[in-house]
Copies of this chain bind each other. A is one copy, B any other.
Amino acid sequence: MKPRDDKKTDQIFQAALGLVKEKGLAGITMCEIAKEAGMATGTLYIYFKNKDELINILFAECRKASAENYFQNYNAAHPFKSGFTKVWMNILKFRIANFEEVVFMDQCYHSPFINECTIKLTRQMIQSLFKLIERGKDENIFKDVDTFSLLTFMIGSIHESVKNAHYSRKPLTRPVIAAMFTMCWDGMKR
């Protein structure tokens, strides 16, 4: 028998992500995805039951990849600031390098494809970030503000930087990244 081509799933995902960034979830068709991925329309239905499943599984993959990235090379034994910096930079760099995923996930939150339940799962994933912020508060480094607000502020500085860098077509340079981080840190610290 003929085995499945393991690369195909990834080709489909890449095609879908590229098209969504270009035209939004509104604009993509199964036919276009297949063409972009270099295969026949029918082939998509060997790897996914239907369009809905394709998008849901891609969403789950993106979420996983994003979460796995947060704490890479984070060492809790190191001083708080260096750990916090590492996580901040991880998230920033990941979002720059995977901007298509960012756009795709953003669009999914208001779509008929992703259900409430899936969104709730995503919220659970910020637990580790929550703990990081709590540590900063415990060590009397961060302001005595509720953790959720501190986290929101941290994430906001990252998200907006990445978005603006992309739309203004001005790549984030090291000095700009450093400046953004300093502002975030100064805002959060006591």
Contact B180 A152 (CB under 8 A): yes
Contact of A157 among B25, B119, B156 (CB under 8 A): B156
Scoring A111, A157, A183 by chain B CB atoms within 10 A of each residue's CB, the highest score goes to A183
Produce 1/0 per residue, A132-166, CB < 8 A to B. 00000000000101101110110111111100100
Query: Do B110 and A21 have beta carbons less than 8 Å apart?
Result: yes
- Which residues of B lie under 8 Å from residue A186 when comparing CB positions? 186-187, 189
Cβ-based interface call for A188 (8 A): yes
Interface size classification for chain A? 35 or more
Q: How far is the CA of A112 from the CA of B25 in the complex (A)?
A: 10
> Closest CB of chain B to A107's CB: distance in Å?
6
| B152 and A160 form a contact (CB under 8 A) | yes
A42 within 8 A of B: no
In this assembly, does A57 line the interface, its C-beta being within 8 Å of a C-beta of chain B?
no
Interface membership of chain A positions 103-125, coded 1 if the CB is closer than 8 angstroms to chain B and 0 otherwise: 10011011111000001000100
B157 & A159 in contact (Cβ 8 Å cutoff): no
In residues 22-79 of chain A, which contact B (Cβ within 8 Å)? 22-27
How far apart are the CA atoms of A113 and B146 in the complex, in Å? 40
Find out whether the CB atom of A112 lies under 8 angstroms from the CB atom of B23.
Answer: yes
**Given A24-B25, A24-B111, A143-B183, residue A148 in contact with residue B160 (CB < 8 A):** no
Contacts of A109 in B (CB 8 A): 167
Mark A residues whose CB is within 8 Å of B.
20-27, 103, 106-107, 109-113, 119, 123, 143, 145-146, 148-150, 152-153, 155-161, 164, 167-168, 170, 176, 179-180, 182-189
What would 7 more interface pairs be, CB under 8 Å, given A24-B111, A149-B176, A149-B179? A26-B107, A103-B110, A107-B107, A152-B164, A156-B156, A156-B158, A156-B161
